[in-house]
Amino acid sequence: MANGGKTLEIRTSPHILSGYSVDTIMFNVVLALLPVAGFAVFAFGLAGLLTLSMAVASCVLTEHLICRAAGKPSTVGDWSVTITGLLYGLTLPPSLPLWMVAAGGVICVALGKALFGGLGYNTFNPALVGRAVLQAAFPVAMTSWIPGFAAGRFSSVPSSTLTLPFTSPEYDAITSATPLALWKFGREATATSDLAMGFISGSAGETSSVLILVGGVYLIARNMMSWRIPASIFATVFVFSGALHLVDPTRYASPIFMLFSGGLMLGATFMATDMVGSPMTSRGCYLYGALIGVVTIVIRTWGGLPEGVMYAILLGNAVTPHLDRWTRPTIYGAKGKEAPT
Amino acid sequence: MRLLGLKTFRHGVHPPESKDETSGLSIRQFPFAPLLIVPLVQHMGAPSIPVVEEGQEVERGQRIGRPDGFMSVSMHAPASGLVRRVALAPSISGRMVPAVYLEPFPGSTQEIEDGTPCPLEATKDEIIAAIQDAGVVGLGGAAFPTHVKLKIPDGKFVDTLIINGVECEPFLTTDHRVMLEESRDIFTGIRYLLKVTGAERVIVAVEANKPDAAEHLREAFPSDLNGSVEVLQVKYPQGAEKMLFSALLGREVPSRGLPLDIHALCCNVATAAQIGQLLPRGRGIQERVITVTGPAVKRKGNYRIPIGTPLRFLLEHVGVADDVNRVFLGGPMMGAAAPSLEISITKGTSGVTAFTDTAAERTHSPVYPCIRCGYCVDACPIFLDPSMLGRLAASEQFSTMADEHHLMDCFECGSCSFVCPSHIPLVQRFRGAKAAVRKSKAGAA
């Protein structure tokens, strides 16, 4: 017999696949985030390392246990929960008590992901869901920052890090303010070069814009990330804050400052682009980016908080299904329709 | 639409071309199988009516089936031999179809009998009748009776004839070889087609991965023909006629309409070559050029294979690897898997591709939930939302798919399934959904 007595498989076309797979995409996002995470550890020492490790561990473990409890195979192998853990950790102040980090990690996955139905169904970015809950629950701890590059950062941790669960941390005298807070509450601008390179205070991962952009460019080059979303966010932020800055440079920060400060780089590059929560159409991506850009600047400029990227992205996530529906392209052949005879 | 200087359409995908192993191989004649099984339905439309009976001796090229109405074609004996049976035979669709079992005479010269020629000077209706009588169907794969397409209804007209030499399916190189080796027949065929359709000009479309074919056709292009050879960007599914019209003419066939609505007509390059070969000699189709290829095939090549050659004989002749696990007719993007090796080569078979376990491995990847990456949305040449359609199909909302999401405009090119990183069998779901919609429509009518 031509096939050596073997059974032939009957499957429907196409018989070849592109080779892209959910787990390879997610793994590459993890790779792209590693330099950012590495810089966070470099800048904040043991505190950064512990925060990130606890964030990833709590997220991964929560997903694994939820899968087990539901009697389903564990989905941690698709790497998506690792991204959630890393992103979540990178948005936290490096001195946040570890028990809060762990609690937030559980919330990220349980509330932000599993409750919605798991990967593919999570309307909101799980990392930001966890962060938003922490922000509401622990406003002081979530806005207490340690300076980067402190001497002895690899040999000791801030006292707040090891705070016992369900107790409030006490902060060292050496907490410092983020550039956005400096501007918001003191109209004090930070040098752009410091912002870009990351020689500032802030969340673990929002400090190095350059490394964030390197990771983003890598993913865009591999067609694993939409370039339209960050491009639209950056353009909107630049134009909107630039216009305000022209009106009154003493009240409104410069567009370069707005672009490079706070969580904008990390959010626009790695969180707004989360495939599950962002639109699929090109026009939808532009609108989504514009919305996030506008809301960010509105909150930063007129809101009570110095930073608004998180809420802007969560709002963008919420309107994504509508954006997809409004921007659905005209199908081939629908234009200039003639009655077929 | 132009990108990088070459015309193309919007969206689409870039599967690996996998054509290098056969594109340089000249067309070779394939031997006769000890028994040819010639299905009487190799085309879209009514089966041909057999005009031979058991025990009858036929000569090569003799008519063995006559058309049953206009939406049907003639069938011819691929070899001189003895009709063993007129009975049912398995087909690619999995259904049994009427067929003529023909045993070629061993050692016969196999000379082809010429019939009554149909000269270029004949009337339009005579040429259309001759094309139907020659049994010509679209050789690109759809096997739509060519003469039906060429019968232009009153009040309609065609200004541009497009000859499709794109061959965007990976692995296949038949059209490529036909363009290189049968250009004379192609241009003769084009003259017939121009006359019948009344088109003012002809565009021969070739993808940029076949520069030798494009150059050869340009050199061979008769100076008295109004037309050109256009080189198109390499992208799948450029060879779909809708994509050709938008790339070359900037016109879109209306949804559910016909190419005639935009005054264009598209014909495969091999179909044109058959017309140019057969009509001047009054013959019918007895064989066609087929690429036999794929990782599991030992002697890959472009073969001129008699219609009715059983797949098992074909594969034994070229040799297949021990770990062959999938055989399909056509290319890997749209080709249908062979349900058994007892089916035979028909006029619509443009390729036979065989995969091994390793080559097929990638399609065994686990299925993940849709992560809304939007790859399918960027791939669909019809601008559908395969992600949404896939989710609706999973919950069997077939009428919503058809009414709100243009399901019936999907022509199953496979681009969405190809790019899906979650490995969701989108096209498979759409086929099922379309069948369900047609069934419920038929039930309602």
Shortest Cα distance, chain B CAs vs residue A270, angstroms = 14
pLDDT for residue A174:
57
Residue in B with minimal Cα distance to A335:
B254
Using an 8 Å CB-CB cutoff, list chain A residues near B263: none
Q: What is the pTM of this model?
A: 0.92
Per-residue pLDDT 10s for chain B (445 aa) are 555 579 999 999 999 999 999 999 999 999 999 999 999 998 888 999 999 999 999 999 999 999 999 999 999 999 999 999 999 999 988 889 999 999 999 877 677 777 889 999 999 999 999 999 999 999 887 789 999 999 999 999 999 999 999 999 999 999 999 999 999 999 999 999 999 999 999 999 999 999 999 999 999 999 999 999 999 999 999 999 999 999 999 999 999 899 999 999 999 999 999 999 999 999 999 999 999 999 999 999 999 999 999 999 999 999 999 888 889 999 999 999 998 899 999 999 999 999 987 755 555 678 999 999 999 999 999 999 999 999 999 999 999 999 999 999 999 999 999 999 999 999 999 999 999 999 998 887 6
Determine whether the interchain pair A331/B255 forms a contact, defined as Cβ–Cβ distance below 8 Å: yes
Q: Tokens representing A159?
A: 């006292």
Q: CA neighbours within 13 Å on the CB side: how many for A44?
A: 37
Using an 8 Å CB-CB cutoff, list chain B residues near A340: 254, 256-258, 261
Q: What is the C-alpha separation between B49 and B43, in angstroms, rounded?
A: 13
Q: What is the C-alpha separation between A97 and A47, in angstroms, rounded?
A: 10
Determine whether the interchain pair A332/B383 forms a contact, defined as Cβ–Cβ distance below 8 Å: yes
Residue ranges of B 335-394 with Cβ closer than 8 A to chain A: 335-341, 353, 355, 360, 362-363, 365, 368-375, 377-378, 381-385, 387
Q: Tokens representing A58?
A: 């709590």
| B281: three-class secondary structure by DSSP | helix
Other beta carbons less than 10 A from residue A195's beta carbon: 24
Q: What is the C-alpha separation between B3 and B103, in angstroms, rounded?
A: 53
**Partners of B32 in beta bridges:** none
| B155: three-class secondary structure by DSSP | coil
Q: What is the C-alpha separation between A107 and A129, in angstroms, rounded?
A: 7
Q: Tokens representing A286?
A: 């532009």
pLDDT for residue A338:
45
Q: Are A204 and A261 in contact (CB under 8 A)?
A: no
Shortest Cα distance, chain A CAs vs residue B179, angstroms = 26
**Least CB-CB distance to A275: which of B325, B335, B373?**
B373
Q: Are B12 and B247 in contact (CB under 8 A)?
A: no
What's chain B's length in residues?
445
The verdict on B172 touching A (C-beta cutoff 8 Å) is: no
Q: State mean pLDDT over A236-253.
A: 93
Position A237, amino acid: V
Contacts of A193 (CB under 8 A, 6+ apart): none
Residue ranges of B 5-64 with Cβ closer than 8 A to chain A: 13, 15-16
**Partners of B6 in beta bridges:** B3
Closest of B129, B39, B126 to residue B91, by C-alpha:
B39
**pLDDT over 70 (residue A207):** no
Closest of B251, B248, B271 to residue B263, by C-alpha:
B251
Q: Quote the ipTM score.
A: 0.90
Q: What is the C-alpha separation between B226 and A252, in angstroms, rounded?
A: 66
Cis peptide bond prior to A139, omega within 30° of 0: no
H or E segment to which residue B213 belongs: helix B211-220
Residue in B with minimal Cα distance to A8:
B325
Distance of CA B293 to the CA centre of its chain: 16
Taken in order B358, B360, B365, B371, the sign of the CA dihedral is positive
H or E segment to which residue B337 belongs: strand B336-337
Query: Which has the higher per-residue pLDDT, A5 or A212?
Result: A212
Instruction: List the strands of the sheet with B81-90, edge to edge.
Output: B36-39, B96-104, B81-90, B57-58
Residue in B with minimal Cα distance to A330:
B383
Residue ranges of B 100-129 with Cβ closer than 8 A to chain A: none
Determine whether the interchain pair A25/B421 forms a contact, defined as Cβ–Cβ distance below 8 Å: yes
DSSP string, B304-317: EEETT-BHHHHHHH
Residue in A with minimal Cα distance to B361:
A16
Determine whether the interchain pair B257/A338 forms a contact, defined as Cβ–Cβ distance below 8 Å: yes
Using an 8 Å CB-CB cutoff, list chain B residues near A6: 323-325
Determine whether the interchain pair B170/A341 forms a contact, defined as Cβ–Cβ distance below 8 Å: no
Shortest Cα distance, chain B CAs vs residue A284, angstroms = 11
What is the residue whose two structure tokens read 């059209």?
Answer: B175
First to last CA, chain A: 51
| A59: three-class secondary structure by DSSP | helix
Q: CA neighbours within 13 Å on the CB side: how many for A67?
A: 17
Residue in A with minimal Cα distance to B10:
A332
Q: Are B58 and B80 in contact (CB under 8 A)?
A: yes
Other beta carbons less than 10 A from residue A152's beta carbon: 9
Residue in B with minimal Cα distance to A5:
B322
Q: At what angle do helices A126-137 and A80-90 cross, to 10 degrees?
A: 30
Position A259, amino acid: L
Q: State mean pLDDT over A189-210.
A: 73
Contacts of A61 (CB under 8 A, 6+ apart): none
Per-residue b or e along B69-103, where b marks 16 or more CB atoms closer than 10 Å to that residue's CB:
eeebbbbbbbbbbebbbbeebbbbeeeebbbbbbb
Return the DSSP state at A48. Answer: H
What is the residue whose two structure tokens read 């752009």?
Answer: A192
Residue in B with minimal Cα distance to A4:
B322
**pLDDT over 60 (residue A302):** yes
Return the DSSP state at B189. Answer: H
Q: Are A179 and A199 in contact (CB under 8 A)?
A: no
Determine whether the interchain pair A20/B375 forms a contact, defined as Cβ–Cβ distance below 8 Å: yes
What's chain A's length in residues?
341
Using an 8 Å CB-CB cutoff, list chain B residues near A16: 15-16, 170, 332-333, 362-363, 418
Enumerate helices (H) and strands (E) in chain A, giving the number of each.
12, 0
Residue in B with minimal Cα distance to A226:
B373
- 3-state DSSP of A243-311: HHHHHCCCCCCCHHHHHHCCCHHHHHHHHCCCHHHCCCCHHHHHHHHHHHHHHHHHHHHHCCCCCCHHH
Contacts of B34 (CB under 8 A, 6+ apart): B103, B104, B313
Shortest Cα distance, chain A CAs vs residue B29, angstroms = 21
**Least CB-CB distance to A12: which of B353, B387, B427?**
B427
Using an 8 Å CB-CB cutoff, list chain B residues near A278: 372
Shortest Cα distance, chain A CAs vs residue B62, angstroms = 31
The verdict on B220 touching A (C-beta cutoff 8 Å) is: no
CA angle B30-B33-B34, nearest 5°? 150
Determine whether the interchain pair A20/B355 forms a contact, defined as Cβ–Cβ distance below 8 Å: no
Q: Beta B301-306 vs B28-29: how paired, if at all? A: parallel
Q: What is the C-alpha separation between A88 and A310, in angstroms, rounded?
A: 11
Residue B32, class by beta-carbon neighbours within 10 Å (0-12 exposed, 13-18 middle, 19+ buried)?
Answer: buried
Determine whether the interchain pair A20/B371 forms a contact, defined as Cβ–Cβ distance below 8 Å: no
Q: What is the C-alpha separation between B393 and B385, in angstroms, rounded?
A: 12
Shortest Cα distance, chain B CAs vs residue A193, angstroms = 34
**Least CB-CB distance to A281: which of B15, B370, B377?**
B377
H or E segment to which residue A129 belongs: helix A126-137
Shortest Cα distance, chain A CAs vs residue B375, angstroms = 8
**Least CB-CB distance to B421: which of A13, A21, A118?**
A21
The verdict on B432 touching A (C-beta cutoff 8 Å) is: no
Other beta carbons less than 10 A from residue A31's beta carbon: 14
Rounded to the nearest integer, the mean pLDDT of chain A is 88
